[in-house]
């Protein structure tokens, strides 16, 4: 549907953005039909209250929508990178824990063979050895 201002609109109840979605914890942006005009709003939480910020109508609203889409895309990229970093760190940590386990076992064997015994978290030389 084309309006008098040359802005292409989608169906009446969906606004120019198309089908609306919902994600928990994510700021939602939407075109709202108020008094016969379409206006772009950004929703954000402030405590328990949802604040609706007016971003613009017409071309200004479309520009704000593009910037919001870029910000969402950048945030998703950062989340993906962070997940990858966490996975790599977890793999390194598990490998380090495995190496530590073998090192402790080897150290214990060496100390026992050298005539030491464990006593309250300390290694002491055996009297007989």
Residue 82 belongs to some domain of the structure: yes
Q: Give the phi and the psi of residue 28 in degrees, each rounded to 5.
A: -100, 140
**Is 102 a domain residue?**
yes
**Mean of the pLDDT values across residues 12-29?**
50
Beta bridge partners of 8: 2
Q: Name every residue whose Cβ is closer than 8 Å to that of residue 45 and which is 6 or more positions away in sequence.
A: 27, 51
**Residue 2 covered by a domain:** no
Say what the pLDDT of residue 27 is: 55
pLDDT higher than 50, residue 73: yes
- Phi, psi at 115, each rounded to 5°: 95, 20
Tell me which residue range forms the domain holding 49.
28-125
Is there a domain that residue 20 lies in? Answer: no
pTM: 0.51
Side-chain half-sphere exposure of 6, counting CA atoms within 13 A: 1
Give the per-residue pLDDT at 40. Answer: 86
User: Strands, DSSP E only, in 12-111?
Assistant: 28-34, 37-46, 49-57
Look at the chain and report how many structural domains it folds into.
Answer: 1
Asked whether residue 15 is assigned to any structural domain, the reply reads no
13 found inside a domain: no
Q: Is residue 16 part of a domain?
A: no
Residue 87 has pLDDT above 60, yes or no: yes
């Amino acid at each position: 549907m084309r309006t008098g201002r040359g802005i292409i609109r989608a169906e009446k109840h969906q606004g120019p953005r198309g089908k609306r979605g919902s994600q928990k914890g994510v700021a939602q942006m939407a075109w709202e039909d108020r008094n016969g005009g379409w206006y772009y709003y950004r929703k954000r939480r402030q405590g328990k209250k949802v604040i609706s910020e007016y971003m613009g109508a017409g071309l200004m609203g479309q520009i704000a929508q593009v910037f919001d889409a870029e910000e969402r895309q950048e945030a998703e990229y950062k989340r993906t990178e962070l997940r990858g970093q966490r996975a790599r760190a977890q793999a390194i940590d598990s490998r380090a824990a495995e190496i530590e386990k073998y090192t402790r076992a080897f150290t214990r064997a060496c100390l026992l063979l050298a005539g030491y015994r464990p006593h309250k978290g300390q290694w002491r030389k055996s009297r007989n050895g």
